[in-house]
Amino acid sequence: MSKIQLLKGFRDYLPQEQMARKKIISKVSEVFERFGFAPLDTPAMEYYDLLGGKYGEEGEKLMYKFEDQGGRMVALRYDLTVPLSRVVASNPDLSKPFKRYQIANVWRAENPQKGRFREFMQCDVDIVGSSSLIADAEVIATINSAFKSLEIGEVLVKFNSRQLADKVLSEIKIKKSNVIKFIRAVDKLEKQGEKKVVELLQEQGMDSGVLKKYRQLMGQEGKGFAEEMEELLSGFGVENMEFSPNLMRGLDYYTGTVFEFVLKEKPEFGSIAGGGRYDNLIKDSKGQAIPAVGCSIGLDRLLAALMDAGLVAPQTAAEVIVFNLDKNLVPEYLNIATNLREAGLDTEFYFETAKLDKQFKYAEAKNIQVAIIYGPNEAKARRVNVKNLKEKEQVTVDLDDLATQIKSMLW
């Protein structure tokens, strides 16, 4: 019998982690909707013709593409943005600006590393149909508010303009054939360092001083853009921002503002969200470009960063457990559990009659917060012992007051 194992780059999420993910998704969705974004879902698989050629040379290598049983070339979605372009093009009557969010898995055959897998979840917001810089700022503000709701500490948003960068590269006489090479090289500055990037630029046939020239001119040309963006972001309540001329974002379809978020206390984790403006990706039925801007949170990388920083509290599926101390009281235990569930309390029942010590260990292992201790003596008195497993405190209350007591402990 062959060994049963996961595919490389894929993973299972056991209950503790999956509950943490679910909590993040819930909070993020709530913020997205507060900003007026509506939910959308698209298929996991698309025609390759839709996805191919949209992500550059590297993206093409990482895309999962194959021929299906019908002889059609198909691919698993690489991101959520290109499928959105198909939705918009296929539904010309959508009211614009069209504000949508989508939380779903994508697939990339990249080298697995900490917080980075071949199947991972993205949380996207996009505004389609507006070329206003205010739309760019609102997307950034939405993601910033989502991070605030997660209470993960301060985040920093770095921003730049690919349109501005293209203008500067033209002014310093970078050949059109070298623009994408320059952008991809500069995008690696934080990971590989300046010396390595300069060497890479020289290997591509560019002058050793081109990076310095670019920075100097961007500092001058980008002043007005940076001031306008900072004013808009401040109006949206964003506090930590930085104009970053080196920020490019690797995807070929970006045309204007680009931005990334990093954890201020854990910058080594890199970008935990990123996006930008892509005005040429979406076209209507007549082939006319529709302006758009969006951002994506990488949920799995974010979760890995939060767990490493100790910012994710242990999760549990149940808040309360009803102990099983006497098999003759099982009908009453089930009634207690049912009443607590109907009162809105997540409640578990210990199936086998067992010693208290064993049941306490089970509850603590599952991070359950409140235990119900109800034996023959308590049954006669219609009283119940309620133990707060976190605070190590115990009270005795009338059975009729049980739900109210537990809610006071938890809420």
Give the domain extent around 211.
15-308
At residue 1, the pLDDT reads 45
* Alpha-carbon gap, residue 48 to 140, rounded angstroms: 30
| Residues 287, 346 share a domain | no
Q: Please give the C-alpha separations between residue 146 and each of 16, 234, 275, 329, in angstroms, as whole numbers.
A: 22, 16, 15, 47
Residue-level pLDDT at 251: 66
pLDDT in tens, 294-308: 999 999 888 887 877
For residue 151, the domain's CATH number is 3.30.930.10
Q: What is the mean pLDDT of residues 114-122?
A: 87
Contacts 24+ apart (CB under 8 A), 232-237: 232/133, 232/134, 232/136, 232/137, 233/137, 233/140, 233/141, 233/157, 235/137, 236/137, 236/138, 236/140, 236/141, 236/144, 237/141, 237/144, 237/145
d(CA 337, CA 321): 8
pLDDT at residue 233 in the model: 97
Claim to verify: residue 37 and residue 122 sit in the same structural domain = yes
Residues 246 and 334 in one domain: no
**pLDDT digit string (tens) for 185-231?**
887 787 788 888 888 888 877 887 888 888 889 889 899 999 999 99
Q: Which domain CATH number covers 401?
A: 3.40.50.800
- Which of 308, 333, 349 is the C-terminal boundary of a domain? 308
Same domain, 256 and 397: no
Give 285's pLDDT tier (boundaries 50, 70, 90): low
pLDDT, tens digit, 9 for 90 and up, residues 164-176: 988 988 888 888 7
Residue 7 belongs to a domain = no
Q: Is the pLDDT at 358 greater than 90, yes or no?
A: yes
Neighbours of 321 (CB within 10 A): 26
Q: What's the confidence (pLDDT) of residue 269?
A: 76
Residue 378 in tokens: 């308590």
Q: pTM here?
A: 0.85
| Angstrom distance (rounded) from CA 277 to CA 126 | 9
Q: How many domains does the chain have?
A: 2
- Round to the nearest angstrom and report the end-to-end CA distance of the chain: 51
Q: Which of these three, 284, 308, 332, is where a domain ends?
A: 308
Pairwise CA distance, residues 59 & 56, whole Å: 5
Give the integer Cα–Cα distance in Å for 306 and 192.
24
**Domain-located, residue 304:** yes
Examine residue 314 and state whether it is found in any structural domain, yes or no.
no
**Quick check: 308 and 266 in contact, CB under 8 A?**
yes
Same domain, yes or no: 400 and 272: no
Residue-wise pLDDT for 180-193, tens only, equals: 888 888 877 877 88
Classify the C-alpha dihedral 162-190-250-262 as positive or negative.
negative
**Integer Cα distance of 110 and 166 in angstroms:** 28
